[in-house]
Amino acid sequence: MNARTDLPPALAAEPPALDAIRALDGEMVDIRHQIHQNPELGFEEVATSDLVAERLARWGYEVHRGLGRTGVVGTLKVGNGTKRLGIRADMDALPVQETNGRPWASKVLGKMHACGHDGHTTMLLGAARHLAATRNFDGTLHLIFQPAEEGLGGARVMIEDGFFDKFPCDAVFALHNMPGLEAGKLGFITGPAMASSDSAVITVTGNGGHGAMPQMSVDPVVAASAIVMSLQTIVSRNVPPLDTAIVTVGAFHAGTTFNVIPEKAELKLTIRALRPQVRDQLQQRITEVAQAQAAVYGASAEVAYDRRYPVLVNDAEATDFARRVALDWVGEAGVMPNLAPLTGSEDFAFFLEKCKGSYLLLGNGTGQGIGEGGCMVHNPNYDFNDRVLGTGASYWVRLAEAFLV
């Protein structure tokens, strides 16, 4: 057990961990707090990637740096096995000002690990240390420390930099902590698990003029208003009723004063879907509806569509495998039943477009007190729950040992 005084007193039911990993708890808590105190935003993870690379090299990993600028890959080959496994953690923090007074709170103004990527990195390092010390597997292990998950698509950049050419994998796995789920419980979702996240800017161009002589102009405000209303029918009339789709017009900008009909109006949209086909359908219909509605009013619409994060689709076989690893270790009681897909997005989706694998959830806790883990991610009071470091690290050890045989 851990004797540190900055951990809250033990709860009746500690989240599960392997004994050998439990022995690394103190070291993992130190690493987690060090990363937490020194948060770095996407593609700026210099000190974090230095720390990761230094530890991996110390433990005997072949270390590759520079994929996705600050990305680190640690490779360990044991035996003659031909199987190749990738496990990924993200390293970036968020531009959020931390508001809690914990001793390990962020030392950097306006930046904090508000999504728990400090914990994800630490758990993978804990597993790395144990796997290198015991070498109880046969094959090639690639540990992927990815930059810039938050909005900047670090996963895509690593892949564009040749990740899968340099480090071919038979399967890839990653996890995210989840406040609101019991600490240390593991959750698996087969198939589409997290939504795509796209954005669009619709620029409606009319013909400006005097507000008292509308017949002399083409009013882009009226055309854009019709577009906003028509867009609402895409989810209700085009997307199959059993599919999830979200079309939100978050911004509508036009005009300057009472009596001037402006030249242009601009709409900004966020668009989410849980199936790649629905994602494509939304893009097609949003473009068609905007252009056709503008034409009705004699205006024109230009749609700048930005496909950002794809739908995260968990491979059925890989997810079954990942779930079995959990059940073999912690039994039914340690696994969340029937988790529903999430409408949030995650750039591990890019890895899963190229390679089969699965993205799982780790309960961060439900209570709102210090060390209880229930505060939602991206909140200024959030903190990764140190109690589940051992659970995540142990799970990665079990997964690697089960996959690389």
CA 169 vs CA 74, 112, 207, 403: distances in Å = 13, 32, 55, 12
Residue 255 CB, shortest distance to Zn ion, in Å, is 36
Bridge partners for 172 per DSSP:
86, 357
Alpha-carbon gap, residue 294 to 166, rounded angstroms: 48
Mark residues 149-188: x for contact with Zn ion by CB under 5 A, - for none: ----------------------------------------
Of the pair 115, 301, the CB lying nearest Zn ion is at: 115
Residue where the block lists tokens 């439900």: 366
The nearer residue to Zn ion, 115 or 261, going by C-beta atoms, is 115
**Cross-strand partners of 271:** 198, 247
112 is a site residue for Zn ion (CB under 5 A) = no
Name the residue nearer to Zn ion (CB basis): 309 or 321: 309
Sole binder of Zn ion in the list 17, 35, 115, 375 (CB under 5 A): 115
Query: Tokens 């808590």 correspond to what residue?
Result: 29
Q: Which part of the chain contacts Zn ion (CB under 5 A), choosing from 4-12, 113-121, 166-174, 228-236?
A: 113-121
Amino acid, res. 284: Q
Site for Zn ion contains 125 (CB under 5 A): no
Q: Which stretch binds Zn ion (CB under 5 A): 40-48, 75-83, 107-115, 333-341?
A: 107-115
Which C-beta is closer to Zn ion: that of 276 or that of 344? 344
Would you say 115 or 175 has its CB closer to Zn ion? Answer: 115
Q: Output the CA–CA distances (angstroms, integers) from residue 192 to 189, 314, 340, 345, in the order listed.
A: 8, 6, 10, 11
Q: Where are the alpha helices (DSSP H) in 135-198?
A: 154-160, 163-166
Q: Phi/psi of residue 305, each to 5°?
A: -105, 125
Q: Which is nearer to Zn ion, 137 or 382 (CB)?
A: 382
The whole-angstrom distance between residue 255's C-alpha and the CA centroid of its chain comes to 37
To which H or E segment does residue 130 belong? helix 117-134
Distance CA 360, CA 347 (A): 13
Note whether 127 binds Zn ion by CB under 5 A.
no
- Distance, CA of 185 to CA of 332 (rounded, Å): 10
Give the integer Cα–Cα distance in Å for 314 and 189.
7
Per-residue interface string for the shown chain with Zn ion, residues 188-207, x marking contact by CB under 5 A:
--------------------
Q: Tell me the per-residue interface mask from 49 to 68 with Zn ion, x by CB under 5 A, - otherwise.
A: --------------------
93 binds Zn ion (CB under 5 A): no
Please identify the residue of the shown chain whose CB is closest to the bound Zn ion.
115
Q: Indicate whether 148 belongs to the interface with Zn ion (CB under 5 A).
A: no
Give the shortest CB-156-to-Zn ion separation in angstroms.
Answer: 16
Least Å distance, CB 95 to Zn ion, is 11
Contact footprint for Zn ion (CB under 5 A): 115
